[in-house]
Amino acid sequence: MEKSNKLGIMKRTILIDDHVSLKFLVESDARTMFNYIVSQRTYLGEWLPFVQFTHQVKDSKGFVDMAIELRKNKKDYVYKICYDNRMIGLIGTKDTDYLNKNTEIGYWISRDFQGKGIMTKTVEKLSQIIFDTLGMERIQICCAVGNERSIAIPKRLGFTQEGIKRNGEWAGNLVFRDLIVFSKLKSDRKL
């Protein structure tokens, strides 16, 4: 298992397999992220509400700057998913509650890398590290009802479906989506 020297210190790079790794977001990633959003706006926008608000590189830069600040404050950790050192998506923690030892994982991947098992392996590895390095007791994943590819990941990894968060995500244009809430406890892991 991937461990750091001290509890609560996340590694800058996490190896998933021979081709896939996670790397901390840096300022220069804003342009790449923006280019993905522009070139795959319809695909990514179907399930990712932030896409509709991303119109300029500065919009992506604002997200990257926020992610870097959260990391510096040891609050949340966002990684770019890299295939042979090329960014293909993002994964990270969200709304981490250190007092109650729980966090949420959010993720997206380029359509060109869908269906290859990359996200499943990435979520599995990051979950292990969150339990072992950050000392979390509970990890949550929320997936929009209907987003079958995203829903398959926590199911495949043994997360428990807890229920539906009604109107849990604003999709824009006065539309809200229900979210399926999945969770995994540290004690749920196979030893």
**Average pLDDT for runs of 10 along the chain of length 191:** 52 96 96 93 86 90 96 95 97 96 96 95 97 96 96 97 95 86 92 49
> So what's the pLDDT on residue 146?
94
The one-letter amino acid at 119: M
pTM: 0.91
DSSP 8-state class, residue 136: -
Per the CB < 8 A criterion, the answer to whether 86 and 20 are in contact is no
Cβ within 8 Å of residue 78, ≥6 positions away: 24, 25, 67, 70, 71, 90, 91, 92, 93
> So what's the pLDDT on residue 120?
98
> So what's the pLDDT on residue 45?
83
Cβ within 8 Å of residue 7, ≥6 positions away: 133, 134, 135
Residues forming a β-bridge with 163: 181
> So what's the pLDDT on residue 5?
36
> So what's the pLDDT on residue 181?
98
Per the CB < 8 A criterion, the answer to whether 17 and 120 are in contact is no
**Residue 174 φ/ψ, nearest 5 degrees:** 60, 20
Domains belonging to the chain, first-starting first, are: 13-137 (3.40.630.30)
